[in-house]
Amino acid sequence: MSREYSEAGDHLVSRQPVILSRYRWFTRLNHWTIAITTILLMLSGLAFYSPALYGLTALFGGGQNARWLHPFLGLVLAVGYLLIFIQLVPRNLPRRDDVVWVKHIRDVMDQNEEKLPTLGKYNAGQKFVFWAMGLLILTLLGTGIMIWQEYFPDLVSIPDRRLAMLAHSAAAILMLLVFILHVYAAIWTRGTIRAMTRGSVTGGWAFRHHRKWLREVAGRSRRETSN
């Protein structure tokens, strides 16, 4: 049986009832750091976007503090996502099951799990969020450095800086939409948030949503027990 669907830290925690470890503490800490940093970046970015939203700068102690803090929060986000990207990229590579999952998107929305393919650790929707966030964060980092005049005043010309500002704003809006999609999916799929708070999921949840991953973890646990 293939062993590409689970990480080294994935294992059965309990058999009565069945509880599986899904995310280690470092992954969870990194995830919540990224989530909080993203929210702070969105709030400060919206404050810069329109005078009507400038009051949001009060959350950061004023406009000057928000303007100074925003790019450094962007660096924290980029580093955090790089760490999680390196860790999770093998499990997020596209597979044939993902194509079948997308073709049955109506069944996904209707929660007709019996009509869906057995999946590894992540489905196509989760993989989309993973790659979309990575691409958008990379775009935001590159364009952010181009418009960071305090440290890179002569990096690009004024016309190029204006284009970078436009691209930065567009990427930020797209990232906001992807972030909302991610949060909605986590709430909509009951039991998912537990994975990022406690680090574990129930056997029933794993059987329903990621059966192939469950079989791999269970099979490895049996081998470790027999040894």
Active site residue 182: yes
Q: Which helix (H) or strand (E) holds 21?
A: strand 18-21
Token code pair at residue 63: 């406009």
Q: Which residues, 6+ apart, have CB-to-CB distance to 35 below 8 Å?
A: none
> Distances in Å between the alpha carbon of 134 and those of 6, 15, 17, 56, 141?
21, 36, 36, 26, 11
The reported pTM is 0.85
| Residue environment code for 24-43, b if the CB has 16+ CB neighbours within 10 A, otherwise e | eeebbebbebbbebbebbbb
- List the chain domain ranges: 11-226
Domain 11-226 class in CATH: mainly alpha
pLDDT tens for each residue of the chain, 227 residues long: 444 555 666 766 666 678 889 999 999 999 999 999 999 999 999 999 888 999 999 999 999 999 999 999 999 999 999 999 999 999 999 988 889 888 888 877 877 777 778 888 999 999 999 999 999 999 999 999 999 988 898 899 999 999 999 999 999 999 999 999 999 989 888 888 999 999 999 988 888 888 899 988 887 766 665 55
Determine which one of 70, 182, 209, 210 is catalytic.
182
